[in-house]
Amino acid sequence: MAALNAWGWSTRSLLLLLIATMSFSIRLFSVVKYESVIHEFDPYFNYRVTQFLTKNGFYNMWDWFDDRTWYPLGRVIGGTVYPGLIYTAGLMYQLLHFFNIPVHVQEVCVFTAPLFSAFCSLAAYGLVSECWDTGAGLAAAALIGMVPSYISRSVAGSYDNEGVAIFALVFTFYTFIKTVNSGSLRWGTINLLAYFYMVLSWGGYSFVINLIPIYCLACVVTGRLTARHYLAFAPLVFVGTLLAASIPVVGFNAVMMSEHFASFLASIPVVGFNAVMMSEHFASFLVAAVMHAALAVRWVKALLPPRQFEYATRLVLLGGACGLAGLVLMMLGYVLRSPTFGWTGRSLTLLDPTYASRFVPIIASVSEHQPPSWPSYITDLHFAALLAPAGIMAAFRKLDNGSLFLVLYGITAVYFSGVMVRLMLVLAPAVCCLSGVAISDILTTLTSSLKAGYVSFQKSQRTSATGEASEDGGASTSDEPATPTPSKTPSGRKSKSGKPASSSDDKSSRTIYNSLFGWLSSESNPLPAPVAALGLLLMLGLMALYTIHCVGVSADMYSAPSIVLQSHRQDGSFYVFDDFREAYAWLRHNTHPETKVASWWDYGYQTTAMANRTVIVDNNTWNTSHIATVGRAMSSPEAKAWRIYRSLDVEYVFVVFGGMIGYSSDDINKFLWMVRIGGGVYPEIKEQDYIGEGGQYRIDSGASPTMLKSLMYKLSYHDFAPAAQRQFGMNGYDRVRNTQIGKTEVPLKYFEEVFTSEHWMMRIYRVRDQPNRDAAKPASRGGAKRKAARA
Amino acid sequence: MSRLCTVLVLAACLVASAAAADFVVENASRRINLKNTWAKAIDTLKAKNTGDSDLSNFVVCYPESIASRIAVLKVLIKKEKQEVAPLQQAPQGAPAGVSCYQATFKSAVKKGATVDLDVVATVTGVFKPNPAKIAQGEKQYVEYYDNLYLLSPYEVTEQSSTVLLPTSDVRSFSPQDGGSKSGSKVSYAALGKQGPWAVQQLKVHFHHDKPFKRVNSLVREIEVSHWGNIYVEETYEIQNAGSQHTGKFSRLTYAHSPDGKTNSFPDVKAHLPAAAHSLYYKDIIGNISSSDTTHTSRETLIEVRLRYPLMGGWKTDFTLGYSVPLEGFLYRRPKGKLRLLMDLSTSFDDVWVEQLTTRVVLPEGAKHIKATLPFADIQQSWDKKFTYLDTAGRPVLVLSKSNVVPEQNKPFAVDYSFTFTGMMREPLLLISVFAAFFAAVALYNRLDFTITRDEKWQEGQAHDKALGLIQSLTEYWDREADVLDRLVRLAHSISNRPSADAAPASRQALEAELRPLDEQSKALLSQVEALSPKLAAAARNHGDKSKMLLGRAAKLLSDKSDLIKKDVAAHEASAKLAGATRQLEEAIREWVDEGAKLAQG
């Protein structure tokens, strides 16, 4: 009938098209408000590799040894990147150029993430439709299309792995559930390819290869294991791992890394619990083994008479225990050889959130590796965070293959997001899918209640139309049971209990119970119409709020490219601070192409991409001691720093300084991390030396003498005091720290200012060939020269 | 420079008297204007034909160092331009290192007559910074070298030279004797009579207060679209060609000292056509967020602020793009021809361009392309460009020229022919591709890729067909459901005796409606039977259920009528029958749902 067609194919596709368009366009604020430009730090590296790919081709990128970074070590790009994103953009570029559409690589890169967000919402629709129903699927697609957490990593210009990886993640889950539900080998193959794409795109693939075993294990434990699970899981683990191992960056990590053995060991006593904790692949093999065993047991059980089966069980258990004990000893020996027991820092951080802050300052210094705060859950997920538990409840009520998966996904993702802000991104799809289920469930209940109310209202209208039941007519809109006798309650209308509830006392008490709580217990029980209407209004209001919140957050918080800053003027127009690009452009055009440039590692990718100069360290923080060397130079006094930089062949050093315009994420504020990281490798750098009076990190008159002598202080505040005097009328007033700097006279002997951007945000210095002999009075020297010139 | 001078002097000594001494320059007044960032030498000559015949050729010469940098050379008689062409070989007797040009007069100079000539040479890049490197805030001093006398194959009776300088700060000038400096002017008033090829080096060392804005390379691409737009994109590499900046660049000094900005420039200004729109200004790493445009009725003034101020020797690049409409730039010519009229070079003020490349991209299918160029030394070549949906590529006319000053920003014309069909080519291409795609899909849906037609396949086919028939059966079922609904409503509406009496008649009328439906559905059912007995059974079963429901509805009706007839009040009767009514309604709804499910297989 007509009602059935409401969710027909064409309406659904239209809605999905609209949702996809919305997902794409909500991410374009950055282009509209700023410009079509690559954002932040890591995207610049991806952009640079993509440029290389489009220029030099696939195989050359595979073999690329990059000597523009990590001087003098260099970096093997082909073997150390997850190339999924780069190939995707490269392929799109090739395709467009095949049709002679002259789009620049940059535009392709800028719009890759929004495009894949649109795909992701489609994949989420698929996943939830497979797990629940199409209505929930649509809700989930709409939610995921604009969830702020995901927007933060996929606005136009945010050309990062996560942009395509979240799509790959959701799509892999969708195809997996589809395989489980359909048992089709075709879907199994697609699932395999989706997983391969996921591994190509992001290190987060280990989440997939751990969640799926957990799910299968849960199926084994709860006894819902079928051959279809096996069909979905076995190829994924075995062929998927082979595929993963063929990607250089993953390589034999997929099977060889000792942390997998460790997790294997840990997993034996309490398999179910530890499977959650295992960070990489071994879990999946183990689960595959468990699945094999479970299926084998079932088969043998069917084959043998019960008694013999018991004997066989005992025999197998005994043999198994002996074999296992031997295996455990071997593993233990292998694992104990390595000092950290084979675990990598990031994996350990996942297990023990305080690990990084205690032992690995490089991981801890990155803001996205911090645990999130509560407000960030609300900012990033808004009411989806509240609805997700409702979704879990709903899923438990109708527990099947799909909903079990959603529940497990949601719960594991919550844990991981609690460890690192960055992993909020994995949580967002889970929360959206669960909220989609919740919204769909709630709306179904509310609307069907309203419909039931409307039907009975119509009925009462009809009766009143005949003229006799006029006394009932007035109450009909708000009070739905108009025709039944007053003694009857709404629950009496329950379709299944057709008989009038009149006979016994027991039954009447139940009626009273039903009248109060009945609508909670059963699906088919409609709510009272006013409650339903109110609930509907509330839901619609919440959804509207969510939309407003998402659009607002997307427009205001997550669209800034961070290489361009804007400030509002009095008249409503914008003032643009474009200092970063100003300085990078200067480096690109006015220094020798083979120059080495040193800066804190945050700016490494940008320097290689925008200035095209060789850097010492960059955002790929693979070599701690190299970074520590730069940290040490920055924290050392000028002469020592000069020697360090000379030994590294560095000709230019730049610092980012926000004191003039109040840009707070500058190098002075990051300085303590440099000290810590430097001190981690070079013990002569001690954090206490840089702490001023009152145990605080400060740069004013209370700053420690070591701090005031450090290169970072000097490079940041050289010449600054008189400029601040002219700008703010206060000698050496720092706008970020809101104080007067400790030492206003900052002469330089070993370094020479060669460029400072318009708002002083980037200051580039040349490392002198020889120390300046009369550094103390540069002004008088210049003056004398000028006089000589006039003569 | 000095080497050149000695050569010149030696050569001058060797010169025999005039090989081409048909003219005698009676009066030569040289004005060398160095106020701008390039030099402009204006020689005002009075020449007399002393030969035996009418003459229409006049030779002007410059030292090689100047000649190689001449951007424009004009010979004017009463402000009328004469044709000038470089001479491949210097005239006989010329000293080494001299390049000459020959002007051809439009009307010959009669024997014994005199003619007033203005020879104007615009020369770029001849200022030599000395010192070559200066620190921030220091003044820029440059040297200028030229020949003191008019370098000419003719005898000069009387001459004077004046050098106009941008400032009065002159470090030195040579030769000292005969020259005098007053303000920003160095003049040699009476240089007396000189024979042909008189050579003496003139050198002025002075303070030049203007930054030298040199565009190292400029690539202009003009792309014509007959859909109403001309895109212009200009890519510049610009450099400060003055004294090299050395040592510290202090932002403090730059921003706050009065002389911090000397010898640097932060911006350039361009005058674009008034109709220019969709401007953009960017470089390889994105927009350059600082520029200002002013639209007036005559032009669009754009002030392009560079990423950073250019100190001496610093360079940067950028791309400036805009669009103009076809009107005013593309004209219809007779015989279906078209003429594109665009400026050749940059519209920036006070810059000179070392290497200019102008690419004119004409629409795909343009033929008979012919360019009319304002200067003879422009090189032409051809290229092809593929952009949106091109199949054969667009013809590109590439014009290149070196050493271009703003006064050479003259329009040039390109004539070509282009037909309407050429314009429709791309839309038609798109339309046909989409049409082909849809046709392919339509065809695919009608093809059968079954490999074997075994029993199972037959069954599947039959099942599909049967399902299609059942789909049409649902229509009848829906109508039956409607009749059932109306029966229930009828039962509801009975409230008094007359209506109770009328009830059976209305019931019969409704049932009569069903009869034809029944027959039609039976016909359909028999078709289904032939295809799939299983589905037919299910459908028949479903159809039979409706009979049962009909019976229940009839019973409800009669019960209600009976009650009313027994004088039970209408609402009491309704209340009594409420349970039964609801159950029946529920059953009808279930029945309908079941039918829909059946139809979906």
Reported as a single tens digit per residue, the pLDDT across B33-68 is: 999 889 999 999 999 888 888 888 889 999 988 988
Nearest to A407 by CA among A382, A380, A388, A383: A388
**A contact residues 760-789, partner B, Cβ 8 Å cutoff:** 760, 778, 782, 785-786, 789
Which residues in A lie closer than 8 A to residue B255 (C-beta atoms)? 723, 726
Is the minimum CB–CB distance between B231 and chain A shorter than 8 Å? no
A191, A232 Cβ separation under 8 angstroms: yes
pLDDT of residue A508: 53
Which residues in B lie closer than 8 A to residue A563 (C-beta atoms)? 286
Nearest to B474 by CA among B532, B550, B530, B538: B538
The reply to whether ipTM tops 0.85 is no
d(CA B98, CA B95): 6
Q: Are residues B256 and A723, on separate chains, in Cβ contact within 8 Å?
A: yes
Is the minimum CB–CB distance between B567 and chain A shorter than 8 Å? no
Which residues in A lie closer than 8 A to residue B247 (C-beta atoms)? 752
Looking at residue B96, the DSSP 8-state letter turns out to be S
d(CA A456, CA B582): 11
Q: Which residue has the tokens 């119970």?
A: A513
Is the minimum CB–CB distance between A468 and chain B shorter than 8 Å? yes
Task: Write the CA distances from A411 to A232, A386, A392, A428, B427, integer angstroms.
Answer: 22, 14, 9, 12, 53
Neighbours of A376 (CB within 10 A): 16
Of B238, B248, B490, which to mutate for an interface test with A (greatest number of A Cβ within 10 Å)?
B248
pLDDT of residue B234: 93
Q: Which residue has the tokens 């445009």?
A: B293
Residue A729, judged by CB atoms within 10 A of its CB (0-12, 13-18, 19+), counts as exposed
Q: Where are the alpha helices (DSSP H) in B194-301?
A: 251-256
**Cβ contacts of residue B34 below 8 Å, gap of 6+?**
B127, B144, B163, B164, B165, B166, B204, B206, B208
d(CA A266, CA A193): 31
Residue A12, judged by CB atoms within 10 A of its CB (0-12, 13-18, 19+), counts as middle
Is the minimum CB–CB distance between B572 and chain A shorter than 8 Å? no
d(CA A430, CA A408): 9
**B contact residues 139-158, partner A, Cβ 8 Å cutoff:** 139
Q: In Å, how far is B533's CA from the nearest CA of chain A?
A: 25
Paired with B265 in beta bridges are B310
pLDDT of residue A146: 92
Q: In Å, how far is B249's CA from the nearest CA of chain A?
A: 5
A649, A72 Cβ separation under 8 angstroms: yes
Q: In Å, how far is B466's CA from the nearest CA of chain A?
A: 19
Task: Write the CA distances from A442 to A498, A527, B29, B585, integer angstroms.
Answer: 26, 11, 98, 26
Helix then strand count (H, E) for chain A reads: 38, 11
B363 has pLDDT over 50: yes
Looking only at the bridges linking them, the beta strands covering B337-343 and B411-417 are antiparallel
pLDDT of residue A471: 40
Is the minimum CB–CB distance between A4 and chain B shorter than 8 Å? yes
Is the minimum CB–CB distance between A7 and chain B shorter than 8 Å? no
Which residues in B lie closer than 8 A to residue A756 (C-beta atoms)? 249-251
Q: Are residues B492 and A466, on separate chains, in Cβ contact within 8 Å?
A: yes
SS3 labels along B540-557: HHHHHHHHHHHHHHHHHH
Q: Could you tell me the end-to-end alpha-carbon distance of chain A, in angstroms, rounded to an integer?
A: 101
Backbone angles phi, psi at A87, to 5 degrees: -65, -40
Between residues B515 and B2, the one the model is more confident about? B515
pLDDT of residue A790: 41
Neighbours of A13 (CB within 10 A): 10
Nearest to A478 by CA among A505, A460, A502, A497: A460
Task: Write the CA distances from B50 to B59, B61, B102, B105, integer angstroms.
Answer: 15, 20, 18, 16
Q: Where are the alpha helices (DSSP H) in A246-281?
A: 253-256, 258-267, 271-277
Helix then strand count (H, E) for chain B reads: 8, 32
Q: In Å, how far is A117's CA from the nearest CA of chain B?
A: 24
Closest residue, chain B, to A100 (C-alpha): B387
Is the minimum CB–CB distance between B247 and chain A shorter than 8 Å? yes
Q: Could you tell me the end-to-end alpha-carbon distance of chain B, in angstroms, rounded to an integer?
A: 99
d(CA A398, CA A379): 30
Interior angle at CA B423, CA B419 and CA B424, nearest 5:
115
Backbone angles phi, psi at A184, to 5 degrees: -90, 135
Is the minimum CB–CB distance between A495 and chain B shorter than 8 Å? yes
d(CA A196, CA A235): 12
Which residues in B lie closer than 8 A to residue A467 (C-beta atoms)? 495
Paired with B302 in beta bridges are B270, B293
pLDDT of residue A206: 81
Is the minimum CB–CB distance between A564 and chain B shorter than 8 Å? yes
Q: Are residues A757 and B308, on separate chains, in Cβ contact within 8 Å?
A: yes
B75, B113 Cβ separation under 8 angstroms: no
Nearest to A139 by CA among A25, A7, A10: A7
Nearest to B206 by CA among B239, B244, B163: B163
Closest residue, chain B, to A785 (C-alpha): B138
Return the exposure string of A689-710: e unless at least 16 CB atoms fall within 10 Å of the residue's CB, then b.
bbbbeeeebbbbeebbebbbbb
B399, B390 Cβ separation under 8 angstroms: no
- Percent of chain B at pLDDT above 70? 96
Q: How many residues does chain B have?
A: 601
d(CA A238, CA A213): 12
Q: How many residues does chain A have?
A: 791
* Per-residue pLDDT tens digits for B71-100: 989 999 888 888 888 888 878 888 888 899
Question: How far does Cα B138 stand from its chain's mean position?
Answer: 41
Looking only at the bridges linking them, the beta strands covering B98-109 and B114-123 are unpaired
Which residues in A lie closer than 8 A to residue B586 (C-beta atoms)? 495, 498
SS3 labels along A207-218: HHHHHHHHHHHH
Is the minimum CB–CB distance between A309 and chain B shorter than 8 Å? no
Which pair of tokens denotes residue A87?
A: 């190939």
Task: Write the CA distances from B391 to B161, B364, B384, integer angstroms.
Answer: 62, 8, 11
Q: In Å, how far is A496's CA from the nearest CA of chain B?
A: 10
Q: In Å, how far is B11's CA from the nearest CA of chain A?
A: 38
B324 has pLDDT over 60: yes
Nearest to A79 by CA among A248, A247, A244: A248
d(CA A449, CA A429): 30
B292 has pLDDT over 50: yes
DSSP H/E element including A578:
none
* Per-residue pLDDT tens digits for A719-750: 898 888 888 888 889 888 888 888 888 888 89
Which residues in A lie closer than 8 A to residue B591 (C-beta atoms)? none
d(CA B337, CA B418): 7
- CB-CB: which of B139, B290, B388 is closest to A578? B290
Q: In Å, how far is B472's CA from the nearest CA of chain A?
A: 12
Looking only at the bridges linking them, the beta strands covering B155-156 and B23-33 are parallel
B432 has pLDDT over 60: yes
d(CA A521, CA A525): 8
Nearest to B40 by CA among B530, B324, B475, B405: B405
Return the exposure string of A218-246: e unless at least 16 CB atoms fall within 10 Å of the residue's CB, then b.
bbbeeeebeebbbbbbbbbbeebbebbbe
**With a cut of 70, which residues of chain A have pLDDT below it?**
1-7, 252-286, 331-359, 455-526, 774-791
Residue B258, judged by CB atoms within 10 A of its CB (0-12, 13-18, 19+), counts as exposed
CA dihedral A23, A29, A31, A35 (to 10 degrees): -160
Q: In Å, how far is A564's CA from the nearest CA of chain B?
A: 9
- CB-CB: which of A469, A754, A786 is closest to B571? A469
Q: In Å, how far is B387's CA from the nearest CA of chain A?
A: 5
* Per-residue pLDDT tens digits for B472-497: 888 888 888 888 888 888 887 877 77
Task: Write the CA distances from A26 to A34, A139, A145, A581, B267, integer angstroms.
Answer: 14, 17, 8, 26, 36
d(CA A187, CA A116): 21
d(CA B499, CA B510): 15
Which residues in A lie closer than 8 A to residue B251 (C-beta atoms)? 719, 723, 753, 755-758, 760
Nearest to A603 by CA among A662, A659, A653: A653
Looking only at the bridges linking them, the beta strands covering B315-324 and B229-240 are antiparallel
- CB-CB: which of A468, A585, A754 is closest to B249? A754
A583, B285 Cβ separation under 8 angstroms: no
pLDDT of residue A95: 93
- CB-CB: which of A485, A753, A790 is closest to B248? A753
Q: Are residues A752 and B247, on separate chains, in Cβ contact within 8 Å?
A: yes
